Amino acid sequence: MSTVAYITARGLFGRRRVLLLLPLPLLLVGLALICKAYDVSPDQWGQPVVVGLGLAVVLPVISLIVGTGVLGSEVDDGTIVHILTKPLARRDIILAKLLVAAGVSAVTAAVPLFVVGALANSVRFGLALAVGAVAGAIAYSALFLLLSLVSRRPVLLGLAYILVWEGLLGRFVSGTRVLSIEQYVITIADKIAPTGMLDGKVSVPVAIVMSVIFALGGTIYAINRLGSFSVAGETS
């Protein structure tokens, strides 16, 4: 593991912020367990829990917390300078950060989604959700990593994307769905395990190609932004 990835991971787990990752997955699994325990039919709770909470909230919000934490917090407090004053290709720095962000988000979101999927339908559905979550975590992480380089308020911008673009506009304006990572995840998971619980609004090729575009485009643009990272003087 590269030193940048090591410091990033230490920074992520060393801050109290990491505790924010716990409640959402617990809530997700807890809700599914309660419904299961009271023998509620999965037809009733499956969609709201899996899609409404899992894919629309848990996955993007966890990716947001982690994705803006790996680089944004270092930009905020200025410690990024210690990493930038090293003869490292900017590509390697971004890839290390992205690796940590996507890895942590993927595990944190995919494991509870797998459990919920297995409870709601079958192990196969659980696996499908996990695969979708991993793909989504990569695309979200690249996007949020980039946001922390282009804006001083990456969390706000990221929340706006999740809540307004994906949550609100995605429901009423069909065109915005093409640029909604949540929709790609739904389509990919539904393709692997069709259950009727997921309702993909974009086609499979669109979902795969657009996920790749988000991941690659975000990464390449972030590398370029980091290459011309400016530090403004405090007094001048």
In whole angstroms, how close is the CB of 22 to another protein at the nearest point? 19
Query: How close are the terminal C-alpha atoms of the chain, in Å?
Result: 39
Using rule CB under 8 A, residue 89 touches another protein = yes
Using rule CB under 8 A, residue 152 touches another protein = no
Which of 24, 181, 52, 22 lies closest to 120 in space, CA to CA? 52
Using rule CB under 8 A, residue 19 touches another protein = no
* 181 neighbors 60 (Cβ within 8 angstroms): yes
R_g over Cα of the chain: 18
- Sign (positive or negative) of CA dihedral 124, 130, 53, 199: negative
Using rule CB under 8 A, residue 234 touches another protein = yes
Which member of 18, 20, 27, 84 binds another protein (CB under 8 A)?
Answer: 84
Nearer to another protein, 18 or 208 (CB): 18
In whole angstroms, how close is the CB of 222 to another protein at the nearest point? 15
**For residue 162, what are the CA distances in angstroms to 143, 169, 177?**
11, 10, 12
Which member of 37, 41, 172, 235 binds another protein (CB under 8 A)?
Answer: 235
Nearer to another protein, 2 or 176 (CB): 2
In whole angstroms, how close is the CB of 160 to another protein at the nearest point? 27
Using rule CB under 8 A, residue 3 touches another protein = yes
How far is it, in rounded angstroms, from Cα 75 to Cα 81? 8
Within 10 A of 97 (CB to CB), how many other CB atoms are there? 27
Using rule CB under 8 A, residue 227 touches another protein = yes
Using rule CB under 8 A, residue 69 touches another protein = no
**For residue 218, what are the CA distances in angstroms to 34, 72, 120, 213, 236?**
39, 15, 34, 8, 32
Using rule CB under 8 A, residue 82 touches another protein = yes
Residue ranges binding another protein (CB under 8 A): 3-4, 6-7, 10-11, 14-15, 77-79, 81-90, 227-236
